[in-house]
Structure 1
Amino acid sequence: MKVHFIAIGGSVMHQLAIALKRKGYIVTGSDDEIFEPAKSNLQKEGILPEKDGWYPEKITTDIDAVILGMHAREDNPELQKAKSLNLNIHSFPEYIFEESKNKKRIVVGGSHGKTTTTSMIMHVLKNSGKAFDYLVGAKLEGFDQSVAITDAPLIVCEGDEYPASVIEKRPKFHFLFPHVAIITGIAWDHINVFPTFDFYLEQFNIFIDKIEPGGVLIYNETDEVLKKLVSAHPSTVRKIAYAIPEHTIENGQTKVVIDNQTATLNVFGNHNLLNLNAAYYACKEAGVDTNTFLKTIASFTGASKRLELLAKNDGTNVYRDFAHAPSKAKATIEAVKQQFPGRKLIAVFELHTFSSLNEKFMSEYKGAMDKADEAVVFYSNHALELKRMPPLDPPVVEKGFDKKGLVVINDKNKLQDWLQKQDYKNANLLLMSSGNYDGLDILTFAKEIV
Structure 2
Amino acid sequence: MKTHFIAIGGSAMHNLAIALKDKGYQVTGSDDAIFEPSRSRLEKKGILPQEMGWFPEKITADIDAVILGMHAHQDNPELARAKELGLKIYSYPEFLYEQSKNKTRVVIAGSHGKTTITSMILHVLNFHRKDVDFMVGAQLEGFDCMVKLTQDNDFMVLEGDEYLSSPIDLRSKFLLYQPNIALMSGIAWDHINVFKTFDDYIDQFRKFVASITPGGVLVYNEEDAEVVKVVEAAENYFRKIPYKTPEYEITNGKVYLKSEMGDVPLSVFGSHNLLNMEGARHICQQLGIMDEAFYEAIMSFKGASKRLEKVEREDQGTLYKDFAHAPSKVKATVKAFQEQFKKEKKYGFLELHTYSSLNPVFLEQYDHAMDGLDEAVVFYSEDALKIKRMEPISPEFIKEKFKNAALKVFTNAEDLHAYWETLDKTNGVFLMMSSGNFGGLDLTK
TM-score class normalised by the smaller sequence = over 0.9
1:428 aligns with 2:439: no
- Structure 2 equivalent of residue 82 of structure 1: 82
RMSD: 1.5
- Structure 1 equivalent of residue 96 of structure 2: 96
Summarize the alignment of residues 321-360 of structure 1 with structure 2, pairs less than 5 Å apart: 321-360=322-361
Give distance in 2, aligned partners of 1:237 and 1:259: 28
- Structure 1 equivalent of residue 197 of structure 2: 196
- Structure 1 equivalent of residue 69 of structure 2: 69
Give distance in 2, aligned partners of 1:71 and 1:433: 21
1:126 aligns with 2:126: yes
Identity %: 53
Moved more, 120-129 or 251-260: 251-260
Query: Which residue type is aligned with residue 25 of structure 2?
Result: Y
Moved more, 403-412 or 200-209: 403-412
> TM-score w.r.t. structure 2 length?
0.97
Structure 1 gaps, min length 5 = 445-450
- Structure 2 equivalent of residue 143 of structure 1: 143
Once the two structures are TM-superposed, the CA of residue 142 in structure 1 deviates from its matched residue by 0.4
Structure 2 gaps, min length 5 = none
> TM-score w.r.t. structure 1 length?
0.96
Give distance in 2, aligned partners of 1:373 and 1:315: 21
Give distance in 2, aligned partners of 1:149 and 1:117: 20
1:155 aligns with 2:156: yes
Query: Which residue type is aligned with residue 81 of structure 2?
Result: K
Structure 1 residues 234 and 258: alpha-carbon distance in aligned structure 2, compared to 1, 3 A threshold: farther
Give distance in 2, aligned partners of 1:193 and 1:57: 33
- Contact kept? 2:311, 2:443, Cα under 8 Å: no
- Structure 2 equivalent of residue 8 of structure 1: 8
- Give aligned pairs, total: 444
User: Could you say what secondary structure the match of 2:439 adopts?
Assistant: helix
Once the two structures are TM-superposed, the CA of residue 413 in structure 1 deviates from its matched residue by 2.2
- Contact kept? 1:262, 1:294, Cα under 8 Å: no
Once the two structures are TM-superposed, the CA of residue 443 in structure 1 deviates from its matched residue by 2.6
Query: Which residue type is aligned with residue 385 of structure 1?
Result: K
- Contact kept? 2:311, 2:320, Cα under 8 Å: yes
Give distance in 2, aligned partners of 1:237 and 1:341: 43
- Structure 1 equivalent of residue 19 of structure 2: 19
Summarize the alignment of residues 212-223 of structure 1 with structure 2, pairs less than 5 Å apart: 212-223=213-224
Structure 1 residues 423 and 8: alpha-carbon distance in aligned structure 2, compared to 1, 3 A threshold: closer
- Structure 1 equivalent of residue 229 of structure 2: 228
Give distance in 1, aligned partners of 2:245 and 2:439: 36
User: Could you say what secondary structure the match of 2:383 adopts?
Assistant: helix
Structure 1 residues 11 and 315: alpha-carbon distance in aligned structure 2, compared to 1, 3 A threshold: closer
- Structure 2 equivalent of residue 35 of structure 1: 35
- Structure 2 equivalent of residue 300 of structure 1: 301
User: Could you say what secondary structure the match of 1:161 adopts?
Assistant: coil
CA deviations on 1:271-297 (whole Å, 9 max, x unpaired) are: 100110010000100000111100001
CA deviations on 1:183-230 (whole Å, 9 max, x unpaired) are: 110000111011100000000000001111111111111111211221
1:207 aligns with 2:208: yes
Summarize the alignment of residues 264-279 of structure 1 with structure 2, pairs less than 5 Å apart: 264-279=265-280
Structure 1 residues 218 and 425: alpha-carbon distance in aligned structure 2, compared to 1, 3 A threshold: same
Give distance in 2, aligned partners of 1:383 and 1:306: 24
- Structure 2 equivalent of residue 411 of structure 1: 412
User: Could you say what secondary structure the match of 2:157 adopts?
Assistant: strand
User: Could you say what secondary structure the match of 1:19 adopts?
Assistant: helix
Give distance in 1, aligned partners of 2:163 and 2:404: 30
- Contact kept? 1:8, 1:69, Cα under 8 Å: yes
Give distance in 2, aligned partners of 1:349 and 1:34: 27
Query: Which residue type is aligned with residue 74 of structure 2?
Result: E
User: Could you say what secondary structure the match of 2:83 adopts?
Assistant: helix
1:374 aligns with 2:375: yes
Query: Which residue type is aligned with residue 220 of structure 1?
Result: N
CA deviations on 1:327-358 (whole Å, 9 max, x unpaired) are: 10010011011012111211010101101111
User: Could you say what secondary structure the match of 1:47 adopts?
Assistant: coil
Give distance in 2, aligned partners of 1:223 and 1:41: 39
Query: Which residue type is aligned with residue 68 of structure 1?
Result: L
